[in-house]
Structure 1
Amino acid sequence: MKHFTKLAIAAVVAGITAGSAIAQELYAPNLAYRTGPFAATGIPLMNGQADYLAMLNARDGGVGGVPVNAEECETGYSTEKGVECYEKTKDRSIVTQPWSTGITLQVLPKTNIDMIPILAPGYGFSPMMDGKTFQWAFNAPAGYWDAADMIIQFIEGQGDLNGKKVAFLHLDHPFGKEPLPVLEAAAEAKGFELVPIPVGLKEMQNQSAQWLQIRRERPDYVVMWGWGAMNAGAITEAVKTKFPMENMIGVWWSGHDADLAIVGDKGKGYKSISWSFPNADAPVMADIQKHVIDAGKSQTNDAEMSGVFYGRGIIISAILAEGIASAQAHFGTGEINAEQLRWGLENINMTEERINELGLNGMVAPFSTSCGNHTGHSGGWMLEWDGAKFVKVSDHLMPNVDSYAELANAKAAEYAEANAPWPVNEDCGG
């Protein structure tokens, strides 16, 4: 079953109501980071996630009539604290949301034992796209290799890349290194020079050395894989050194309104690939306003609500809710367990019709997941800062997944071998 309707969910709710058991709650903790050097980006994301689920709880009694408990466990983006949060919450949770590629990599080996799905929308280990190998890990609707491919596609659309130089300014962290295999393969295939420039965690706010190197290298483009304080630091340095902003493109976590607002008009032309888009006119925004904001149940504000990251947080919780609803309809129960949610996350079908039915009009591109495809590869849009906000400057872009499918399979097999014995879902046909 790839699509479920309101009628199907209603039938589940009716079944629960008719039975003697009373639905309690679905425990879906979030490994949040509202503190630390990445808090500027974490706060709007967490607020968007929390507000969407609070809206479902207030408007619909939760998902399928069962309230969702989205309790946060603060990690400060620390891998050590993230693992502690995972261990603290795993006994009751139906899902873990690690919110850091570093935490994801630490939790990933535990999933086959604990049998709790990882939901890491748009982040984490890219080979998790291989659902046959990574049965419990999901990074829908798009992964980092998708992002790298779409950025290169967009740059190539501006002219031949042969003989050009692309600087890769990235956080010196598993997150920042994740796209390197795809970027290196693209450089070899298309004839451009890739210049990796790492930024240490202690250098995020003072990148003078990195931008001195960029001035020396004189790259045609800067691709930025930044996060938190690194984004504002890089954008400020780019303006200071008069790098042409139209030739600077970030991953989706480097497209935060507040970072660009620091430089205002001077940041015009800066771009970011994105699998989500904020739409203030989407019906879901009115529902959140009515049931959450006006009710005093939110930590957000008007400026944040109009931004990319708050809207992305909404989509992230919508993906989780769709996985829950899919599982509820299939198993005929409201109070699903972690193993049932894994099936639900493998059977999401976000058609345009379904997206609009959920009130998410224009906020995410259609995608679907399956047993073998845990990413969905929704594609996205290139966004550009116009001095006050991000606007779309491309049609819907789709990643060339076939170009790195073999690499993903090889990396998945390598991971499984390094973590042997690693169970593979032999029944998974795709």
Structure 2
Amino acid sequence: MKHFTKLAIAAVVAGVTAGAALAQELYTPNLAYRTGPFAATGIPLMNGQADYLAMLNARDGGIGGIPVNAEECETGYSTEKGVECYEKTKGKAIVTQPWSTGITLQVLPKTNIDMIPILAPGYGFSPMMDGATFQWAFNMPAGYWDAADMIVQYLESQGSLDGKKIAFLHLDHPFGKEPIPVLEQLAAAKGFSMVPIPVGLKEMQNQSAQWLQIRRERPDYVVMWGWGAMNAGAITEAVKTKFPMENFVGVWWSGHDADLRIAGADAKGYKSISWSFPNQDAPVMAAIKEHVVDKGLSKSDAEEMSGVFYGRGIVISAILAEGIATAQAHFGTAEINAEQLRWGLENINMTAERISELGLDGMVPPFSTSCADHTGHSGGWMLEWDGEKFVKVSDLLTANVDGYKALAQTNAAEYASANAPWPVNENCSATN
């Protein structure tokens, strides 16, 4: 029962839609951050997410005939406010979307008790890939450890890393520290040295001290785990200090068009790994224009809609919608609950064919999940700023998950032990 074709889903949903008139809504709250120091990145993501679900509501009457209520609870990216939003919305929610690694870590133990799945696409606690331990947490289609591995793979494709030095410029926050275990492991295996350079929340816009250190260290590459104002600050400093932009690579949250436009052509060559890509010719974009934009229902604009983060927001809501549709098909009801959605999220099969059926051509790589694998490990593309926009400069890269699977299992076991009693899915093996 793991995978479903489009026809199978349609057949079951058609059978339950007749009773959908009695249903209220599918409540999928989003712990948004349209304000605060990270608003510049939050706004296009939230707009993309909202527009995709608004399109489904307008075109299809929602999912399975039930409208989706994607109410936003503003956190400003504050962990404290994020927890408050979680508590405020959990009563009728079928999913929670924390939108911060810090918030994710705080609500992670709560979701075991409340039985609400966490959807944290491309962020959160990397060992959440271990679905047997983290039954209610999902970071599909790819996690931070995948990103670290793929970045190193790409750099290695440019020449041996043996004896090279990589400066790791990162936000001094749980998000920024996530890839360190895998980067350290890769450094030992491939012979490069890694120099961690943290950036405090109050230093994001003025990184002169960090870039002075980079000049002193003379690294071969700078890898950035930046977010919000930190990205623009780092790119501005890199240009000012004449660091070779072709040797500057960021995680997917450091690949925001608006940050690069500040430097324009001077930032040409900067790169970012990404599990999403903005394809303006994808059918989903035409559907959003017809059902949302042309009706004045979008908060976005043409420039933002052409960017990486708006497109990523679309993909994120499409993943959520696919989990809902998969659960509806399996349980034979359109009005699913949180526990049923958890099953749907761990039985997603986003094949190339299914991605095309959803109108997302070229916007996300294929991936699938299972009870053991809550990340999917889709892989990603290396994007490069050409002075005006991001373009793909690599074929699809896929992470060597086997290289850190044992590390994930060890960290998951340590987390479960530290938070005992911690429920584990005893019926889920590594092959499920």
TM-score tier by shorter-chain length is over 0.9
- Give yes or no for the alignment of 1:191 onto 2:185: no
How far is the alpha carbon of 1:255 from its aligned partner? Answer: 0.2
**Structure 2 regions of 5+ residues with no counterpart?**
none
Provide the alpha-carbon RMSD of the alignment.
Answer: 1.0
Secondary structure of the equivalent of 1:262? helix
TM-score by length of structure 1 reads: 0.99
Q: 1:213 maps to which residue? A: 213
Deviations 1:109-139 (A, max 9, x none): 1111000000000000000000000000000
- Give yes or no for the alignment of 1:2 onto 2:2: yes
Matches for 1:30-109 after TM superposition, within 5 Å: 30-109=30-109
Instruction: Return the letter of the residue paired with 1:110.
Output: K
Give the 3 Å change call, closer, same or farther, for CA 159–272 of structure 1 in structure 2.
same
User: In the alignment, is the contact (CA less than 8 A) between 1:2 and 1:347 conserved in 2?
Assistant: yes
> What is the rounded CA distance, in whole Å, between the counterparts of 1:20 and 1:229 in structure 2?
44
Matches for 1:270-285 after TM superposition, within 5 Å: 270-285=270-285
> What is the rounded CA distance, in whole Å, between the counterparts of 1:408 and 1:172 in structure 2?
22
Q: 2:415 maps to which residue? A: 415
Instruction: Return the letter of the residue paired with 1:384.
Output: E
State the identity as a percent.
85
Aligned residues: 430
Secondary structure of the equivalent of 2:76? coil
How far is the alpha carbon of 1:20 from its aligned partner? Answer: 8.7
How far is the alpha carbon of 1:191 from its aligned partner? Answer: 1.0
Secondary structure of the equivalent of 2:147? helix
> What is the rounded CA distance, in whole Å, between the counterparts of 1:357 and 1:153 in structure 2?
31
Q: 2:311 maps to which residue? A: 311
Q: 2:386 maps to which residue? A: 386
User: In the alignment, is the contact (CA less than 8 A) between 1:16 and 1:23 conserved in 2?
Assistant: no
User: In the alignment, is the contact (CA less than 8 A) between 1:167 and 1:222 conserved in 2?
Assistant: yes
- Give yes or no for the alignment of 1:153 onto 2:176: no
How far is the alpha carbon of 1:21 from its aligned partner? Answer: 6.4
User: In the alignment, is the contact (CA less than 8 A) between 1:12 and 1:64 conserved in 2?
Assistant: no
User: In the alignment, is the contact (CA less than 8 A) between 2:20 and 2:66 conserved in 1?
Assistant: no
> What is the rounded CA distance, in whole Å, between the counterparts of 2:369 and 2:105 in structure 1?
21
How far is the alpha carbon of 1:22 from its aligned partner? Answer: 1.4
User: In the alignment, is the contact (CA less than 8 A) between 2:13 and 2:328 conserved in 1?
Assistant: no
> What is the rounded CA distance, in whole Å, between the counterparts of 1:117 and 1:206 in structure 2?
38
How far is the alpha carbon of 1:6 from its aligned partner? Answer: 3.9
User: In the alignment, is the contact (CA less than 8 A) between 2:17 and 2:65 conserved in 1?
Assistant: no
Q: 2:251 maps to which residue? A: 251
> What is the rounded CA distance, in whole Å, between the counterparts of 1:400 and 1:5 in structure 2?
28
> What is the rounded CA distance, in whole Å, between the counterparts of 2:185 and 2:70 in structure 1?
40
> What is the rounded CA distance, in whole Å, between the counterparts of 1:309 and 1:21 in structure 2?
35
User: In the alignment, is the contact (CA less than 8 A) between 1:166 and 1:219 conserved in 2?
Assistant: yes
Give the 3 Å change call, closer, same or farther, for CA 220–12 of structure 1 in structure 2.
same
Secondary structure of the equivalent of 2:377? coil
How far is the alpha carbon of 1:279 from its aligned partner? Answer: 0.1
**Structure 1 regions of 5+ residues with no counterpart?**
none
How far is the alpha carbon of 1:13 from its aligned partner? Answer: 3.8
Deviations 1:5-36 (A, max 9, x none): 44334334433344496122100000000000
Q: 1:261 maps to which residue? A: 261
> What is the rounded CA distance, in whole Å, between the counterparts of 1:47 and 1:20 in structure 2?
27
Instruction: Return the letter of the residue paired with 1:319.
Output: I
Q: 1:367 maps to which residue? A: 367
How far is the alpha carbon of 1:367 from its aligned partner? Answer: 0.2
Instruction: Return the letter of the residue paired with 2:265.
Output: D
Q: 2:167 maps to which residue? A: 167
> What is the rounded CA distance, in whole Å, between the counterparts of 1:389 and 1:106 in structure 2?
36
Instruction: Return the letter of the residue paired with 1:27.
Output: Y
> What is the rounded CA distance, in whole Å, between the counterparts of 1:11 and 1:387 in structure 2?
48
> What is the rounded CA distance, in whole Å, between the counterparts of 2:3 and 2:363 in structure 1?
20
Secondary structure of the equivalent of 1:124? coil
How far is the alpha carbon of 1:341 from its aligned partner? Answer: 0.1
Q: 1:301 maps to which residue? A: 301
Secondary structure of the equivalent of 2:272? strand
> What is the rounded CA distance, in whole Å, between the counterparts of 2:20 and 2:48 in structure 1?
35
> What is the rounded CA distance, in whole Å, between the counterparts of 2:40 and 2:160 in structure 1?
37
User: In the alignment, is the contact (CA less than 8 A) between 2:126 and 2:143 conserved in 1?
Assistant: yes
Deviations 1:172-230 (A, max 9, x none): 00000000000001111111110000000000000000000000000000000000000
Give the 3 Å change call, closer, same or farther, for CA 191–15 of structure 1 in structure 2.
same
User: In the alignment, is the contact (CA less than 8 A) between 2:227 and 2:254 conserved in 1?
Assistant: yes
Q: 2:200 maps to which residue? A: 200
Instruction: Return the letter of the residue paired with 1:78.
Output: S
Give the 3 Å change call, closer, same or farther, for CA 62–156 of structure 1 in structure 2.
same
Deviations 1:310-347 (A, max 9, x none): 00000000000000000000000001000000000000
TM-score by length of structure 2 reads: 0.98
> What is the rounded CA distance, in whole Å, between the counterparts of 1:364 and 1:11 in structure 2?
26
